Structure 1
Amino acid sequence: MLIERKKERRYILFALIVLAVYLSPLFILQENAHIRVHDNLDSNLAWYKVLARSGEIFGDVQDPIPQIINGLLSRNAFGTEYSVIVWLYALLPTMAAYGLSQALTRLVAFFGMYVLLKAHLLPGEKWLPIQIVTALAFALTPFWPSGMLSTLGMPLALWAFLNFRNREDTWKDYLVLTLLPLYASIVLGFFFFLSAMGIFWLTDVVRRKGWNLRFLFAIVYMTFIFMLVEYRLVYSFLFTTEPNSRDEYFHAHLPFWSAVRLFFKNYLLGHTHVLTIHTLFILPAMFIAFYFVFMKKLWKQERIFVFLFVLNILLSAWYAFWFYEGWLPLTKRFHFMDTFNFARYHFLRPLVIYASFALALKIISLQGFSWRNTAKWFAIMQIVFLGLFNDEIIYQQKPTVKEFYAVDLFGKIKEHIALPQEKYRVASIGIHPAISQYNGFYTLDTYNNFYPLSYKHQFRKIIEKELAKNKTVRTYYDQWGGRCYLFTAQLGKRYMIKKDSKRHLKKLELNTDVFKEMGGRYIFSAIPIDNAEQNQLQLDKVFESKKSAWKIYLYKIL
Structure 2
Amino acid sequence: MPIQKNHIERRLLIFAFLALAVFVSPLFILGENAHIRVHDNLDSNLAWYKVLAESGQLIGPADAVIPQIINGQLSRNAFGTEFSLIVWLYALFPPMTAYALSQTITRVLAFIGMYLLLKTHFLSGKQWNILAINVGTSLAFAFTPFWPSGMLSTLGMPLALWAFLNIRKKEKMRKSYLVLTLLPFYSSIVLGFFFFLTAMGIFWLIDVIRTKRWNGRFLLSIVFMTLMYAIVEYRLVYSFLFDDEPNSRDEYFHARLSLWRSIRLTYKNFIYGHHHAATIHTLVILPVMILALFIIIRKKIWKKERTFILLFILNIALSAWYAFWFYKGWLPLTERFHFLDTFNFARYHFLRPLVIYVLFALSLKILLVTPWKRTVPILVAAQLIVCSLTNEEIIFQTKPTFKQFFAEDQFNEIKDYIGIPQEDYRVASIGIHPAIAQYNGFYTLDTYNNFYPLTYKNQFRKIIEKELAKNKTIRIYFDEWGGRCYIFTAELGKRYMFKKNSKKRLKNLELNIKPFKEMGGKYIFSAVPIDNAFENNLSLERTFESSSSVWKVYLYKAI
| TM-score where L is the length of structure 1 | 0.99
Q: 2:341 aligns with which of 305, 330, 338?
A: 338
Kindly provide the amino acid, as one letter, of the partner of residue 241 in structure 2: L
Kindly provide the amino acid, as one letter, of the partner of residue 418 in structure 1: G
**Residues 466 and 488, structure 1, Cα contact 8 Å, conserved in 2:** yes
Q: 1:253 aligns with which of 248, 251, 256?
A: 256
Kindly provide the amino acid, as one letter, of the partner of residue 33 in structure 2: N
Structure 1 position 169, deviation (Å): 3.4
Does residue 298 of structure 2 align to residue 300 of structure 1? no
Provide the C-alpha distance between the structure 2 equivalents of 1:352 and 1:505, rounded to a whole number of angstroms. Answer: 48
**Residues 285 and 375, structure 1, Cα contact 8 Å, conserved in 2:** no
Query: What SS class does the counterpart of residue 277 from structure 2 fall into?
Result: coil
Kindly provide the amino acid, as one letter, of the partner of residue 385 in structure 1: V
Provide the C-alpha distance between the structure 2 equivalents of 1:196 and 1:452, rounded to a whole number of angstroms. Answer: 32
Kindly provide the amino acid, as one letter, of the partner of residue 356 in structure 1: L
**Residues 286 and 356, structure 1, Cα contact 8 Å, conserved in 2:** yes
**Residues 141 and 275, structure 1, Cα contact 8 Å, conserved in 2:** yes
Does residue 373 of structure 2 align to residue 390 of structure 1? no
Q: Which moved more, 1:169-178 or 1:105-114?
A: 169-178
Provide the C-alpha distance between the structure 2 equivalents of 1:209 and 1:266, rounded to a whole number of angstroms. Answer: 36
Does residue 118 of structure 2 align to residue 137 of structure 1? no
| Map of 2:32 onto structure 1 | 31
Provide the C-alpha distance between the structure 1 equivalents of 2:90 and 2:409, rounded to a whole number of angstroms. Answer: 20
Q: What does the per-residue CA deviation read over 1:440-479, in whole Å, with 9 as the maximum and x for residues that have no partner?
A: 0000000000000010011000000000111110000000
Provide the C-alpha distance between the structure 2 equivalents of 1:4 and 1:505, rounded to a whole number of angstroms. Answer: 67
Kindly provide the amino acid, as one letter, of the partner of residue 521 in structure 2: G
| Map of 1:446 onto structure 2 | 447
| Map of 2:72 onto structure 1 | 71
Q: What does the per-residue CA deviation read over 1:348-385, in whole Å, with 9 as the maximum and x for residues that have no partner?
A: 000000000000011012113xx012222221111001
**Residues 315 and 349, structure 1, Cα contact 8 Å, conserved in 2:** yes
Provide the C-alpha distance between the structure 1 equivalents of 2:283 and 2:41, rounded to a whole number of angstroms. Answer: 27
Over 6 Å off, 4+ runs: none
| Map of 1:401 onto structure 2 | 402
Alignment of 1:375-524 (within 5 A): 375-524=376-525
Kindly provide the amino acid, as one letter, of the partner of residue 193 in structure 1: F
Query: What SS class does the counterpart of residue 211 from structure 2 fall into?
Result: coil
Structure 1 position 209, deviation (Å): 4.3
Structure 1 position 18, deviation (Å): 1.0
Kindly provide the amino acid, as one letter, of the partner of residue 118 in structure 1: K
Q: Which moved more, 1:526-535 or 1:160-169?
A: 160-169
| Map of 1:311 onto structure 2 | 314
Alignment of 1:208-219 (within 5 A): 208-219=211-222
Query: What SS class does the counterpart of residue 254 from structure 1 fall into?
Result: coil
| Map of 2:163 onto structure 1 | 160
| Map of 1:554 onto structure 2 | 555
| Cα RMSD, aligned residues only | 0.7
Kindly provide the amino acid, as one letter, of the partner of residue 85 in structure 2: V
The count of residues paired between Structure 1 and Structure 2 equals 556
Query: What SS class does the counterpart of residue 283 from structure 1 fall into?
Result: helix
Provide the C-alpha distance between the structure 2 equivalents of 1:67 and 1:501, rounded to a whole number of angstroms. Answer: 30
Q: What does the per-residue CA deviation read over 1:13-69, in whole Å, with 9 as the maximum and x for residues that have no partner?
A: 101111111111100000000000000000000000000010101111121100000
| Map of 1:194 onto structure 2 | 197
| Map of 2:180 onto structure 1 | 177
**Residues 132 and 377, structure 2, Cα contact 8 Å, conserved in 1:** no
Kindly provide the amino acid, as one letter, of the partner of residue 536 in structure 1: N
Structure 1 position 239, deviation (Å): 1.3
**Residues 277 and 386, structure 1, Cα contact 8 Å, conserved in 2:** yes
Q: What does the per-residue CA deviation read over 1:220-265, in whole Å, with 9 as the maximum and x for residues that have no partner?
A: 0000000000000111111110000000001111011111111111
| Map of 2:54 onto structure 1 | 53
| Map of 2:92 onto structure 1 | 91
Q: What does the per-residue CA deviation read over 1:94-129, in whole Å, with 9 as the maximum and x for residues that have no partner?
A: 111000000000000001000000000111112111
Kindly provide the amino acid, as one letter, of the partner of residue 546 in structure 1: S
| TM-score where L is the length of structure 2 | 0.99
Provide the C-alpha distance between the structure 1 equivalents of 2:268 and 2:51, rounded to a whole number of angstroms. Answer: 36
Does residue 208 of structure 2 align to residue 205 of structure 1? yes
Percent of residue pairs identical: 68
Question: Which structure 2 residue ranges, 5 or more long, are not aligned?
Answer: none
Provide the C-alpha distance between the structure 2 equivalents of 1:520 and 1:262, rounded to a whole number of angstroms. Answer: 42
Kindly provide the amino acid, as one letter, of the partner of residue 286 in structure 2: L
Kindly provide the amino acid, as one letter, of the partner of residue 413 in structure 1: I
Provide the C-alpha distance between the structure 2 equivalents of 1:332 and 1:374, rounded to a whole number of angstroms. Answer: 53
Alignment of 1:318-357 (within 5 A): 318-357=321-360
Question: Which structure 1 residue ranges, 5 or more long, are not aligned?
Answer: none
Structure 1 position 387, deviation (Å): 1.1
| Map of 2:15 onto structure 1 | 14
Provide the C-alpha distance between the structure 1 equivalents of 2:149 and 2:3, rounded to a whole number of angstroms. Answer: 40
Query: What SS class does the counterpart of residue 540 from structure 2 fall into?
Result: strand
Provide the C-alpha distance between the structure 1 equivalents of 2:72 and 2:468, rounded to a whole number of angstroms. Answer: 25
Q: What does the per-residue CA deviation read over 1:400-455, in whole Å, with 9 as the maximum and x for residues that have no partner?
A: 00000000000000000011100000000000000000000000000000000010
Kindly provide the amino acid, as one letter, of the partner of residue 43 in structure 2: D
Query: What SS class does the counterpart of residue 539 from structure 1 fall into?
Result: strand
Q: Which moved more, 1:117-126 or 1:184-193?
A: 117-126
